[in-house]
Amino acid sequence: MIVKSLSRKDPNCFFDLPDYIVNETDRLYDKHGKSFLIKHNLRGDTVEEWAEQFRENDQLRKVKRSDSVLVYHEMLSWHKKDSDSLTMEKMKDMTEKYIQLKNPNGMYLAAPHYDKGHYHVHICTSGVEYKSGTASRISKKTYAELKQAIQGYQIQKYPELKSIERHGKGDYIKVTDREYQQKQKTGRENHKDELRQTLRRCFSFAISKSDFLDQLKELGLETYDRSGGLTGVWYEGNKFRFSRLGFDLSQLTERSERKSRLREIRGTELYRKR
């Protein structure tokens, strides 16, 4: 299981991230049209209600700074080889366990998504504990222990799932015979596949093109342009095009534009109510 967390500091995140979690096109539903939505220390049924609660709770923050983390965008993700074994119930159970292990005093909104054969759960976590004003931040050491704990829970309760993270490398165990033989012969990862997995996680998290690029910078990845347009990324001394890796950056632009339209609609509705 891949476990990842990114911090959000833009005030728009109170609305944008919950909206992405519940309304994005890759939101997962089963054959009966059912999904799950975890609301921990949250009330109501709309993005607007949740956004306002996240915002009001953050105003109770004891230590206020201009660069405070307002919410965390977290994700639990499984390899596509576990597609036949994963169920809504299992993903919901592991997400609820993650919340309990991390901090049950926080505010959480979570829902499952499915993209290119990968099941994952997006989680919006408050930057401040519920009604306490205490920041939700944890140390890198504690977070590493959290990742080990939730993976241990998966191994113990759902041994049929084979998605095991390599702690410290952030990658899945390899599954194909070709990849296994290559590693045995060369002793190194296939750079293209390794990069594709890294980009996939960033792409899944991103709510805009600029957000995607910020994530790449945090990972130390340098992008390059061609004919005046963003084309690809440098990795291990080689150039890789986004398009050849299977990523359409126009989708990120569409996400961002949709968020802007929703904010405009929301602002108009609030004005009318006055």
Half-sphere exposure of 24 (CA within 13 A, CB side): 27
As a whole number of Å, the end-to-end CA separation of the chain is 47
- Taking the domains of the chain in order of start, what are their residue ranges? 1-173, 189-274
**pLDDT top residue among 233 and 269:** 233
Confidence band for 102, pLDDT divided at 50, 70 and 90: very high
Tokens 């990742």 correspond to 147
pLDDT above 80: residue 232: yes
pLDDT in tens, 61-100: 999 888 899 999 999 999 888 888 999 999 999 999 999 9
Q: What is the pLDDT of residue 32?
A: 81
pLDDT above 90: residue 254: no
112-121, 129-138, 140-149: range with lowest mean pLDDT: 112-121
pLDDT above 90: residue 123: yes
CB 247, CB 203: distance < 8 Å:
yes
Query: Could you tell me which residues come within 8 angstroms of residue 53 by beta carbon, excluding any fewer than 6 positions away?
Result: 42, 43, 44, 107
**pLDDT top residue among 166 and 251:** 251
pLDDT above 90: residue 105: yes
Q: What is the pLDDT of residue 168?
A: 45
pLDDT above 70: residue 187: no
| CATH code reported for the domain at 1-173 | 3.30.930.30
What is the reported pTM?
0.67
Work out the average pLDDT over 191-213.
81
Work out the average pLDDT over 183-193.
54
What rounded mean pLDDT belongs to the chain?
Answer: 83
**pLDDT top residue among 228 and 170:** 228
pLDDT in tens, 20-60: 999 888 898 988 888 999 999 999 999 999 999 999 999 99
Q: What is the pLDDT of residue 173?
A: 38
Question: Going by DSSP bridges, is the β-strand pair 38-40/108-115 parallel, antiparallel, or unpaired?
Answer: antiparallel
Report which of 106, 143, 145, 98 is spatially closest to residue 127, judged by C-alpha positions.
106
Q: What is the pLDDT of residue 273?
A: 46
Q: From residue 60, give the alpha-carbon distance in Å to each of 14, 39, 53, 141.
A: 15, 20, 11, 27
pLDDT above 80: residue 129: yes
Q: What is the pLDDT of residue 182?
A: 52
**pLDDT top residue among 200 and 190:** 200
Q: What is the pLDDT of residue 52?
A: 96
